[in-house]
Amino acid sequence: MSRVGKKPVAVTQGVTATVDGQTVKMKGPKGQLQFVVHDDVEVKLENGAVKVAPRFETKRARSLYGTSRARIANLVEGVTKGFEKKLEITGVGYRAALQGKNLQLALGYSHDVIYPIPEGIAITTPKPTEIVIVGNDIQRVGQVAAEIRSYRPPEPYKGKGVKYEGEFIFRKEGKKK
């Protein structure tokens, strides 16, 4: 049994939660989010908390209900505080700038990479070598950060590229004579 899944998700003050069949909806100061729980997982709203339990005693149901509980907890945190990912750009001439509704990245290519900012995501560049991605859906924030990082992932020899804040890049020694 999942230790995470056994804990009920407390609905904080200022958040309204509704469970309609397999759909869990959260509404708070940062917006509205919803998540459709798998059919093998049972979801109930009791005493201001959302409880999740496996519907059957199968391996699939037992593995999914801990994940479902974590996703519901992320909904509550998303509509109250929101989520933030920071990216760092390392390299001579590598920089980022906002250009209207687009993020312009100079990453050592012959052209600048233009990334259109999706709906519901806010991107800021406090420094030319730093990108801050903010939103209320953890999955979308992480996906946007991964897409931006994929344009120039950090390389192991000089460490140039786009990396997550605090990410460790295993450095390799160069060629020897």
Digit-coded pLDDT (tens) for 78-103 = 999 999 999 999 999 999 999 999 99
The residue out of 80, 101, 125 marking a domain boundary is 80
Tell me, yes or no, whether 169 lies in a domain: no
pLDDT value of residue 65? 87
Q: Answer yes or no: is pLDDT of 2 > 70.
A: no
Tell me how far apart the alpha carbons of residues 1 and 58 are, in angstroms, rounded to a whole number.
11
Tell me, yes or no, whether 22 lies in a domain: yes
Tell me, yes or no, whether 89 lies in a domain: yes
Digit-coded pLDDT (tens) for 22-77 = 899 999 998 899 999 999 999 998 888 999 988 888 888 888 888 999 999 999 99
pTM, two decimal places: 0.87
Same domain, 116 and 132: yes
The DSSP call for residue 118 is P
Tell me, yes or no, whether 144 lies in a domain: yes
157 lies in which domain range? 83-164
Tell me, yes or no, whether 21 lies in a domain: yes
The residue out of 80, 108, 135 marking a domain boundary is 80
The total domain count for the chain is 2
Strand segments, DSSP code E, in 39-82 are 41-46, 49-54
The residue out of 35, 63, 80 marking a domain boundary is 80
